[in-house]
Amino acid sequence: MASKLLSPVPGIARTCMRTSRFIAPRAVAPLTQRRCISAYGYEQAKALTFSEYGEPPSVLSLHGHSISPPHGDKMTIRFLASPINPADINQIQGVYPSKPTFTTDLGTPNPIAVAGNEGVAEIIALGDKAKSAGYKKGDWVFMKGPGFGTWRTHASATVDQVVKLEDSMREGITALQAGTVSINPCTAYRMITDFTTLQPGEWFIQNGANSGVGRAAIQLGKKWGLKSINVIRSREDKAAEDKLKDDLRALGADIVITDAELQAQGIRDQAKEWTNGGREKIRLALNCVNGKAATAMAKLLSSSAHFVTYGAMSKQPLTIPASMLIFKDIHFHGFWVSRWAEKNPEDKIKTVNDVLDMTRNGEFKDTPFDQIKWEYETKGDELIAKVKDTLEGYREGKGVFVFGKT
């Protein structure tokens, strides 16, 4: 906390709180370089917030506020890394089932919500009850459930809102890895293991294979001796498409095809070739796209296979011929990691720890990241422009806010 200034004048702290701008005592660095904290331990925070649902560039704004010193079971946390996931965008648009909390607690006349659902933060101050509950300064914590608001520099949390990442699990793990482990890798892990028991040598097929979930599924499948057919969207730039296919093969994908190749004639014969004349079964499909490409994927499944839908990137409905249910006995499921984690909190921790073990051992590679630096003086416009970028497809990396001197 060396970058923070202590102001002995309560009035200065109050001014800072109200305006989010630093009022410098005499003879200190320029305004944009430094920030303030009062002698009474008020923390200056900034958050990307919205007061109504809509498209992120129109409704998001950067809001400055102060956080009072924690007491009881409260803690003040400082975020280290928070990703921009598709669900975060849907939540801001108001089309996600889990709604954020709109509140005036952050000092606004009208209720606002903080965007973002995933991230890792460190505890920088805590009350006595939080200490007795086993937390200490410097611990890294995740949010227990969605809707907390992770696109912010600091927050006040209670012990029941967070889950601690045990010190032993932190070893060799970066904030970026910890901040992105709890949703996508967990989703891939549970979908591969919870709907059917695949035997080594058996296959699964998935679309959105270059997404965070898709890349996790490829690596977990490889580790568990499974084979995978991976569908990506075609690229106009064929060199970029080939490179993406190579990248996924390097992660452990057996087959990588485009959605156009999946829907082309002759794909069934091709799939037979890949699966040893059909003797190796394709018993699981993971779908986050829907539309025609998802239907085509279902057609490659073996009888009595499981088809799990967990996303809707194309915004198209999922259309399935009745014969697949009646004669082929394909089982269709949906999966939502938030609901699963709420029901299985212990398993969630085990799943996260398993993935972190694999990461530490070099068996689980990071998804490509587009790191968005967030310093105390970073302007709201810059952050919001980055959020807007993520609305475009064909990206090379997942946007993640990485917090510097906040």
Residue 130 Cβ vs ligand NAP, minimum distance, rounded to whole Å: 29
In the shown chain, the binding pattern of residues 87 to 106 toward ligand NAP, with x for contact by CB under 6 A and - for none, equals x-------------------
Which is the catalytic residue, given 96, 135, 189, 376?
96
Closest CA to 42 of 125, 150, 166, 129: 125
CB of 392 to ligand NAP, least distance (A): 8
β-bridge partners, 172: none
* Cβ distance to ligand NAP smaller for residue 123 or 288: 288
Rule CB under 6 A: say whether 63 interacts with ligand NAP: no
Q: Looking at 63, 164, 386, 398, which residue binds ligand NAP (CB under 6 A)? A: 398
Interacting positions 210-269 with ligand NAP (CB under 6 A): 210-213, 233
In angstroms, give the least distance from the CB of 15 to ligand NAP.
40
Q: Based on CB atoms, which residue is closest to ligand NAP, 76 or 187?
A: 187
Residue 226 and residue 202 in contact, taking contact as beta carbons nearer than 8 Å: yes
Q: Using CB under 6 A, which of 120, 192, 253, 288 touches ligand NAP?
A: 288
Rounded-to-integer distance, Cα 136 and Cα 127, Å: 10
What is the nearest approach in angstroms of ligand NAP to the Cβ of residue 91?
10
- Cα 155 from Cα 116, distance rounded (Å): 13
Q: Closest approach of Cβ 40 to ligand NAP, in Å?
A: 40
Query: Which residue number, 112 or 257, has a Cβ lying nearer to ligand NAP?
Result: 257
State in angstroms the smallest separation of the CB of 342 from ligand NAP: 12
Provide the minimum distance between the beta carbon of 99 and ligand NAP in the complex, in angstroms, as a whole number: 16
Which one among 64, 86, 221, 252 touches ligand NAP, defined by CB under 6 A? 86
Residue 116 within binding range of ligand NAP, rule CB under 6 A: no
- In angstroms, the CA 324 to CA 205 distance is 16
| 295 touches ligand NAP by CB under 6 A | no
> Which one of 313, 328, 353, 360 is in contact with ligand NAP (CB under 6 A)?
313
Q: Which residue number is nearest to ligand NAP in terms of Cβ?
A: 311
393 scored as a contact of ligand NAP (CB under 6 A): yes
User: Cβ of residue 347: shortest distance to ligand NAP, in angstroms?
Assistant: 14
CA distance linking residue 200 with residue 217, whole number of Å: 15
The yes or no reply on residue 351 touching ligand NAP (CB under 6 A) is no
The footprint of ligand NAP on this chain (CB under 6 A) covers a number of residues equal to 25
Contacting residue, 7, 150, 156, 187, with ligand NAP by CB under 6 A: 187
**153 lies in the binding site for ligand NAP (CB under 6 A):** no
Per CB under 6 A, the list member of 66, 76, 85, 156 interacting with ligand NAP is 85
Kindly identify the residues of this chain, within the stretch 318-347, that bind ligand NAP according to CB under 6 A. Answer: 335-337
- Residues 6+ positions from 11 with CB-CB distance below 8 Å: none
- At residue 162's C-alpha, the angle toward residues 157 and 164, to 5°, is 125
d(CA 404, CA 336): 32
Q: For ligand NAP, which is the closer residue by CB, 36 or 163?
A: 163
53 is catalytic: no
Q: Of the two residues 64 and 291, which places its CB atom closer to ligand NAP in the complex?
A: 291
CB atoms within 10 A of CB 303: 11
Binding region for ligand NAP (CB under 6 A) out of 26-34, 170-178, 205-213, 370-378: 205-213
Binding site for ligand NAP (CB under 6 A): 85-87, 183-184, 187, 208, 210-213, 233, 288-289, 310-311, 313-314, 335-337, 393-395, 398
Report, as residue numbers or ranges, the catalytic residues.
Answer: 96
